[in-house]
Amino acid sequence: MTFLLRNRLAGALVTALLVSACASLPPPEPPASGNQAVVALLDDARGESAAARPVQAAAALERALRIEPRNPVLWLELARVRLNEGDYAQAETLAARANAWSGKDRHLRAANWRIIAEARNRRGDAGGAQAATRRAESFER
């Protein structure tokens, strides 16, 4: 096989792999809010969390929640911040509140139950963690 033919075959194979990988990606998540101020605050909070500044992350999320108190994504993000801070009881409470506003969003409900499971696990409640994990899995099917 000539060098040129091998390169064309390799290029075609790479292209086919990329196309098949893109086809299996989940669809992009809808924006967390239609309110640009809330979106900006959520972005700020995620950046602060990534930079290990939970106090600033929580402050941004709390400001966003004053604008949209029924936004389950904001409650979930705040639950994650509290979980990472080690405030497991608060993380569980916030994730439960997020579930109350999640409606039929199975992905969001599963994420909330995963937070609850992790919070219970870190508090030493293995049975409660297992029950929450099963609940999360029921939304992932």
User: Looking at the domain assignment, is residue 112 inside a domain?
Assistant: yes
User: Looking at the domain assignment, is residue 76 inside a domain?
Assistant: yes
Print burial letters for 118-140: b (CB count within 10 Å at least 16), e (below 16). Answer: bbbbeeebeebbeebbebbeebe
User: Looking at the domain assignment, is residue 51 inside a domain?
Assistant: yes
> How many domains are there within the chain?
1
Domain of residue 80, residue span? 33-140
- Quick check: pTM over 0.75? yes
Q: Give the tens place of pLDDT for each residue, 60-108.
A: 999 999 999 999 999 999 999 999 999 999 999 999 999 999 999 999 9
**Residue 61 backbone dihedrals phi, psi, to 5 degrees:** -65, -40
- What is the mean pLDDT of the segment spanning 112-120? 98
Q: What is the CATH number of the domain that holds 81?
A: 1.25.40.10
Would you state the pLDDT for residue 32? 81
